[in-house]
Each structure stands twice: as C-alpha cells, then as structure tokens.
C-alpha cells in the first residue's frame, strides 16, 4: 500500500498492517519453438515477384533437377551428376548480390554440388579399380600363355 492511502486510513493501536497482493496472469512463452514468418504481398499487388517468391521458385526448380539427377544416376549411370552440376552452376553463376538473398536455392545448390563431387570421385575410383583388375588379369593370362608355349 502506498504512504498516501496509509495516511488517510484510521490507525488502531496494536493493529498490524497487511498488504494485499493480487496475482497477475502470466502469458506462457514457448522457448526454442520455431516461428514461421510468411511474407505475403499486399492485397492487389501486381508488381514483380517478391524476392522470397523468387527464392522459393528457384529452390523448387533446383530440387526437381536434383531429383531428376538422382533418378538418372540410378537408371543411366553417370548422367545424373550432369544435372547436379547444373543446379550448382545455376546458383553460383549468379552475382553475389543476388546470391546473398537466395538462401533456399543455396541449400539445394550446395547439396547438389556435394552429391555430384562424391559421385564423381566414386566413379573415378571404380574406373581405376576396373583398370587395375583388368591389367592384372591380362598380365596373368600372358604369363600362362608364355608357360604354355614354352611347354609345347
């Protein structure tokens, strides 16, 4: 209670002053929960697409090309990485000023580039393994042929 309200109230000898506290409702806050912010153009907006829309459309196209690359990689072998490199090139060939606002396209481009690089390295390793196995097989066949000719 404030000093002004105490001054107006009658004081009884031996009385104990009690302050009344009222509970206030508290809003519960969720800590660590993601908040989705949706940017929408104003009603009736007919201008050029908003940057967030451009990013979403580009990312959608990039992920579709990534999926096509995966399908072709499983069905047609080394054709898939061509699509993955194309997705990365489409993003990284843009000017820096554009790229810094295209976060969703960046994710698709990096994923495509890493996948393409890994698959290319695996393809090179498989080719080297086949060459080594084939040359070993030829050299052992030549040795057997020489032994056979010297025997005859």
**Cβ neighbours around 60 below 10 Å, total:** 13
Q: Is the pLDDT of residue 54 over 70?
A: yes
- Asked if 111 and 66 touch (Cβ cutoff 8 Å), the reply is yes
Res 93: pLDDT: 94
Q: Give the DSSP letter string of 91-140.
A: HHTS-HHHHTT-HHHHHHHHHHHHHHHHHHHHHHHHHHHHHHHHHHHHHH
Tokens of 129: 């393994």
**Cβ neighbours around 14 below 10 Å, total:** 4
20's CB contacts (< 8 A; 6+ apart) are 1
Res 71: pLDDT: 93
Identify the CA nearest to 98 among candidates 147, 141, 58.
Answer: 58
Tokens of 32: 């660590």
Rg (CA), the chain: 36
* Banded model confidence at residue 138, pLDDT cuts 50, 70, 90: confident
Check residues 7 and 79 and name the one with the higher pLDDT: 79
Q: Is the pLDDT of residue 15 over 70?
A: no
Check residues 18 and 2 and name the one with the higher pLDDT: 18
Res 104: pLDDT: 93
Length of the chain (residues): 152
pLDDT tens digit sequence for 60-113 = 999 999 999 999 988 887 788 999 999 999 999 998 888 888 999 999 999 999
Average pLDDT over the chain, rounded to an integer: 78
- Asked if 51 and 96 touch (Cβ cutoff 8 Å), the reply is no
pTM for the model stands at 0.59
- Asked if 71 and 82 touch (Cβ cutoff 8 Å), the reply is no
Q: From the centroid of its chain, how far is CA 152? A: 68
pLDDT tens digit sequence for 30-50 = 565 555 555 565 566 566 666
């Amino acid at each position: 209670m404030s000093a002004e309200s105490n001054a107006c109230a009658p004081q009884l000898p031996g009385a104990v002053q009690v302050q009344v506290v009222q509970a206030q409702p508290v809003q519960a806050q969720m800590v660590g929960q993601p908040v989705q912010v949706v940017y929408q153009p104003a009603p009736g907006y007919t201008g050029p697409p908003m940057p967030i829309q451009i990013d979403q459309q580009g990312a959608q196209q990039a992920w579709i090309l990534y999926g096509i690359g995966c399908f072709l990689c499983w069905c047609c072998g080394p054709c898939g990485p061509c699509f993955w490199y194309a997705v990365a090139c489409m993003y990284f060939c843009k000017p820096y000023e554009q790229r810094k606002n295209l976060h969703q396209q960046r994710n698709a481009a990096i994923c495509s580039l890493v996948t393409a690089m890994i698959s290319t390295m695996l393809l090179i390793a498989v080719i080297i393994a086949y060459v080594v196995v084939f040359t070993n097989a030829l050299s052992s066949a030549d040795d057997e042929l020489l032994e056979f000719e010297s025997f005859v």
